[in-house]
């Protein structure tokens, strides 16, 4: 996902740049500013800008002043300057502002696209991965597959925390940007209600990195947004869905709450007894075991990647008795929550043990 800002006061030139970027850079979000003042407003508003293309002769503040303002706030954004003026003094004055390239108008499409790809280190293979993630994100939400969606959320967030190479923030930033793109596509009213929390998380990731203290905020932010997104899909598809699908939807929606068979049966419009039998037949797992497995999966991630205490994790998952939570956790994993956390700290890449197997914790 790439965020572009085009700062150009000539409409034809701006449209030309927009077309070039749209045709040759996939997953690009393009913002346009016709004056320096509007460009500065965008710099303040946007959480992240990958590249800004600036006409140096735009109305005041001029292009140089826009770049100076950008650099006071962000020295990572790539900058390409465009101008019809080939004065060498102007070129030389740009060097101190970390301008990545300087192009004379009119710029040929082939030159512009080559420069953009080179400056961004645009990788077609990486872009293919992003495109596949884009398709998966949109299709899971559109299809209303809530359990599979939560699996993807954990794969993405936990995977970024687990990976120790490269800029792990970018993985989360790209994922959150895809969600923001989907939210925006739902219309202004929906975006206005749900984008603020998402953008706040994006700012925290950009400024703080992937810390243990931020893990739970990222996870809950995505889960809260997911609830709103899937509620829209569920309401439109509810008449066609069967009661098992309705039950699984309400389990995922209320996974951080106290979930009982009676409550879910009421929401699925069947008796508790009938749901219990049908649920086990459809999923191969009893209702209580299914709910416990879903909660324990979240608990594992919180123990491994967050700084929440065991008692706090129990409360967040609606276990009012921390001792009961520890018994359930040990039943599912053959380990206490504290021992599981120690194992993951010492061996972050080890596979979790199966219930019934023996576990040896590393000595300090």
Question: CATH assignment of 128-346?
Answer: 1.10.10.60
Average pLDDT over residues 134-154: 89
Nearest to 326 by CA among 299, 289, 355: 299
Q: Residue 64 — pLDDT band, cuts 50, 70, 90? A: confident
Listed range (26-40, 181-195, 216-230, 345-359) with the worst mean pLDDT: 345-359
pLDDT band at 103 (very low <50, low <70, confident <90, very high): confident
Are residues 9 and 15 in contact, defined by beta-carbon separation less than 8 angstroms?
A: no
Is the CA virtual torsion 140, 142, 147, 153 positive or negative?
positive
Q: How is residue 46 written in tokens?
A: 């946007």
Task: Enter the CATH code of domain 2-120.
Answer: 3.40.50.2300
| Whether pLDDT at 63 is above 80 | yes
Most confident segment among 64-68, 109-113, 252-256? 252-256
Is the backbone of residue 180 left (phi > 0), alpha (psi -120 to 50) or beta? alpha
Q: How many CB atoms lie within 10 A of CB 119?
A: 15
- pLDDT for residue 354: 42
Task: Give yes or no for residue 124 having a pLDDT over 60.
Answer: no
Joined together, the tokens standing for residue 216 give 């739970």
The pLDDT of residue 92: 66
Q: 159-217, pLDDT tens digit by residue?
A: 989 886 666 777 888 888 888 878 877 877 777 777 778 888 888 888 888 899 999 99
First to last CA, the chain: 43
pLDDT at 131 over 90: no
Mean pLDDT to the nearest integer, 110-120? 86
pLDDT in the model for residue 192: 77
- C-alpha span between 214 and 74 (Å, rounded): 22
Of the two residues 316 and 56, the one the predictor is more confident about is 316
Confidence of residue 364 (pLDDT cuts 50, 70, 90): very low
256 or 29, which is more confident?
256
Q: How far apart are CA 355 and CA 50, in angstroms?
A: 46
Structure tokens given for 233: 């899909």
pLDDT at 313: 97
Q: Look over the chain and give the mean of its residue pLDDT values, rounded to a whole number.
A: 84
Q: Which of 8-12, 48-52, 169-173 has the lowest mean pLDDT?
A: 169-173
Assess whether the previous peptide bond of 316 is cis (omega < 30° from 0).
no
- Give the model's confidence band at 86: pLDDT under 50 very low, under 70 low, under 90 confident, else very high: low
The span from the CA of 66 to the CA of 84, in Å, is 18
Per-residue pLDDT band for 23 (boundaries 50, 70, 90) equals confident
Instruction: Give the model's pLDDT for residue 104.
Output: 81
Mean pLDDT of 224-252: 85
d(C-alpha 364, C-alpha 361), whole Å: 9
Q: Are domains 2-120 and 128-346 of this chain identical in fold?
A: no
Task: Write down the domain spans for the chain.
Answer: 2-120, 128-346
**Which is more confidently placed, 14 or 131?**
14
- Helix/strand/coil (H/E/C) assignment for every residue in the chain: CEEEEEECCCHHHHHHHHHHHHHHCCCEEEEEECCHHHHHHHHHHCCCCCEEEEECCCCCCCHHHHHHHHHHHCCCCEEEEEECCCCHHHHHHHHHHCCCEEEECCCCHHHHHHHHHHHHCCCHHHHHHHHHHHHHHHHHHHHCCHHHHHHHHHHHHHHHHHCCCCCHHHHHHHHHHHHHHHHHHCCHHHHHHHHHHHHHHHHHHHHHCCCHHHHHHHHHHHHHHHHHHHHHHHHHHCCCCCHHHHHHHHHHHCCCCCCCHHHHHHHHCCCHHHHHHHHHHHHCCCHHHHHHHHHHHHHHHHHHHCCCCHHHHHHHCCCCCHHHHHHHHHHHHCCCHHHHHHHHHHCCCCCCCCCCCCCCCCCC
Band of pLDDT at residue 352, cut at 50, 70 and 90: very low
Cα(196)–Cα(119) distance, rounded to whole angstroms? 31
User: Are 63 and 35 contacting, i.e. CB atoms less than 8 angstroms apart?
Assistant: no
For residue range 30-47, what is the model confidence (pLDDT) as tens digits? 999 999 999 999 998 887
Over range 314-320, report the average pLDDT: 94
Residues 6+ apart with CB under 8 A from 237: 144
């Amino acid at each position: 996902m790439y965020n572009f800002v085009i700062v150009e006061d000539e409409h034809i030139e701006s449209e030309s740049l927009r077309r070039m970027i749209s045709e040759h850079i996939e997953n690009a979000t393009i913002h346009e500013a016709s004056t320096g003042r509007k460009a500065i407003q965008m710099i303040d508003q946007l959480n992240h800008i990958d590249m800004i293309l600036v006409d140096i002769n735009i109305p005041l503040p001029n292009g140089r002043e826009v770049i100076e303002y950008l650099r006071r706030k962000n020295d990572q954004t790539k900058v390409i300057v465009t101008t019809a003026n080939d004065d060498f003094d102007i070129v030389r004055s740009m060097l101190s502002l970390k301008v990545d390239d300087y192009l004379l108008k009119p710029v040929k499409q082939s030159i512009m696209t080559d420069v953009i790809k080179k400056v961004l280190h645009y990788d077609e293979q990486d872009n293919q991965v992003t495109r596949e993630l884009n398709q998966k994100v949109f299709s899971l939400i559109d299809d209303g597959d809530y359990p599979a969606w939560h699996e993807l959320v954990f794969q993405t967030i936990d995977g970024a925390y687990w990976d120790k190479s490269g800029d792990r923030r970018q993985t989360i930033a790209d994922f959150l940007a895809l969600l923001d793109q989907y939210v925006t596509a739902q219309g202004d009213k929906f975006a206005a209600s749900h984008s603020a929390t998402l953008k706040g998380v994006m700012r925290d990731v950009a400024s703080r990195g992937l810390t243990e203290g931020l893990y739970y905020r990222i996870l809950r932010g995505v889960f809260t947004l997911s609830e709103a997104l899937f509620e829209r899909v569920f309401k439109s598809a509810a008449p066609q869905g069967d009661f098992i699908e309705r039950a699984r939807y309400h389990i995922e929606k209320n996974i951080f709450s106290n979930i009982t068979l009676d409550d879910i049966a009421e929401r699925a419009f069947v008796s508790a007894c009938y749901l219990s039998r049908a649920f086990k037949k459809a999923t191969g797992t009893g209702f209580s075991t299914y709910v416990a497995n879903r909660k324990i999966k979240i608990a594992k991630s919180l123990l491994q990647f967050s700084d929440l205490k065991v008692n706090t994790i129990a409360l967040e998952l609606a276990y009012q008795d921390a001792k009961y939570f520890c018994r359930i956790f040990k039943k599912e994993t053959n380990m206490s929550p504290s021992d599981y956390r120690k194992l993951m700290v010492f061996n972050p890449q080890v596979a979790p043990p199966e219930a019934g197997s023996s576990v040896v914790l590393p000595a300090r």
